[in-house]
Amino acid sequence: DIQMTQSPSSLSASVGDRVTITCRASQGISNYLAWYQQKPGKVPNLLLYAASSLQSGVPSRFSGSASGTDFTLTISSLQPEDVATYYCQKYDIAPWTFGQGTKVEV
Amino acid sequence: EVQLLESGGGLVQPGGSLRLSCAASGFTFTNYAMSWVRQAPGKGLEWVSTISGGGYGTWYADSVKGRFTVSRDNSKNTLYLQMSSLRAEDTAVYYCAKVIAVAGGFFDYWGQGTLVTVSS
């Protein structure tokens, strides 16, 4: 099975900082990669799909990119409400594996 | 408005069984695959199972294969997860999630989750 490895596992940044989270697939998954945000005590929320397509209603400071088997989630200007754990997920074929998560603190 | 409401969670002894339900509304249920995702206390998300829109395709994580069965009743807009031979490591919040297509894909809507605790 393809493994999804996120880095870092946690980070702390200041308001206004540019934040980058990486997700690496152990094999090619084309662009079948989604990103979710889970705020403390809340349900996961879809941010991006197809590696770089922004879900409706998600602020434009969130963006995604892909290079081979490496995928990146970028928050261009970190806001206090972005405190959350972020997960990547492959969805090419089963199993639809999640990364282990990246906890972002402000 | 899409709504997903899970029920059926609770405390069960190791080796026991439990059936979770997820009542869906706000979309044409039969047109979309549905999934179960779980989250152990303080841990990350783990995909558990997916069922296609018509119910003919099912997929399971290795950790639950042979113990869990996903099903759906499209006449009732309801998704189910029958869990048996439960283990302590199955303790988690179980979310149902709507898939963006009739078979596999990512999840665009999630329920609020139902807690399953496996303990003696």
CA distance A4 to A83: 22
- Using CB atoms within 10 A of its CB, is residue B89 exposed (0-12), middle (13-18) or buried (19+)? exposed
What pLDDT sits at residue B105? 87
Provide the mean pLDDT of chain B: 96
Q: Which of helix, strand or coil describes residue A10? A: strand
B8 token code pair: 């059926």
CA distance A42 to A12: 20
Lookup result for tokens 């397509």: A53
Q: In which band, very low, low, confident or very high, does the pLDDT at B24 lie, cut at 50, 70 and 90?
A: very high
What pLDDT sits at residue B101? 83
Question: For residue B9, is pLDDT > 80?
Answer: yes
What pLDDT sits at residue A12? 97
Record: contact A95-B59, CB cut-off 8 A: yes
What pLDDT sits at residue A38? 98
What pLDDT sits at residue A43? 98
CA of B65 vs chain A CAs: smallest distance (Å): 12
Considering only the beta carbons, identify the residue of B45, B106, B112 that sits closest to A91: B106
CA distance A24 to B39: 21
Chain A contact residues (CB < 8 Å to B):
1, 34, 36, 38, 43-46, 49, 55, 85, 87, 89, 91, 93-101
**Chain B residue with minimum CA distance to A94:** B59
Task: Profile chain A (106 residues) by mean pLDDT over runs of 10 residues.
Answer: 96 97 96 97 97 96 97 98 98 95 97
B23 to A16, A41, A82, B71, B110: CA distances (angstroms): 41, 22, 30, 12, 12
pLDDT in tens, B54-112: 999 999 999 999 999 999 999 999 999 999 999 999 999 999 999 998 778 899 999 99
Could you tell me if A62 and A48 are in contact, meaning their C-beta atoms sit under 8 angstroms apart? yes
Contacts of A45 in chain B (CB under 8 A): 110
